Amino acid sequence: MAEHYSSFTKGGRLWLWQRITAAFLVVVLAFHFFLLHFVYHADEVTFAMSQGRMETLSYYSLMILFLVTATFHGVNGVYNALVNQGLTGTKRQAVKWTLVAASVVLLVQGVRTANAWAGFTTFF
């Protein structure tokens, strides 16, 4: 039997979260594509239809969780790719905090958008 092999350091929490979010996203991304391209077609999209879905609390919660997990998985993936390319020191810190800032902007804007459909506050 082959030994366990992974290129990532064992024990890291980000490593584990990258995989937990991956397992979630595999299912939800497939669902998202199926619902919005095969059940509803892309050229039939209307504000009212999107609003109808997002006003359902279970759908709204799923989409918020989708936003959070996709943002973490994507941005952490970019960070890992850059570290693997040899990013170190001050540059690594600068990239890290730029990615954190970009994630915050994406999350805020994503929640505002979901809220606009659900009838919640869009804050500003």
Partner 1 sequence: MSQSYNRGLIEDFGRWREFSAGMWAWIFHKFTGWVLVGYLFTHIAVLSTAIPASSQDAAVLAANEDIYTTTIVALESLLVVRILEVGLLAVAVFHILNGLRLLFVDLGIGLESQDKSFYASLILTGAITVASVPTFIAGAF
Q: Round to whole Å and give the CA distance between 17 and 32.
A: 21
User: Would you state the torsion angle of the CA atoms of residues 102, 104, 107, 112, taken in this order, to the nearest 10 degrees?
Assistant: -110
| Residue 35 interacting with partner 1 (CB under 8 A) | no
Out of 31, 33, 55, 101, the only residue in the binding site for partner 1 (CB under 8 A) is 33
| Alpha carbon 82 to its chain's center | 19
Tokens found for residue 100:
């954190």
Of 60-79, binders to partner 1 (CB under 8 A) are 67, 70-71, 74-75, 77-78
- The residue type at 65: L
| Residue 117 interacting with partner 1 (CB under 8 A) | yes
Half-sphere exposure of 64 (CA within 13 A, CB side): 16
Out of 11, 13, 23, 90, the only residue in the binding site for partner 1 (CB under 8 A) is 23
Interacting residues toward partner 1 by CB under 8 A: 2-6, 19, 22-23, 25-26, 29-30, 33, 37-38, 41-43, 45-48, 50, 67, 70-71, 74-75, 77-78, 81, 84-86, 102, 106, 109-110, 112-113, 116-117, 119, 122
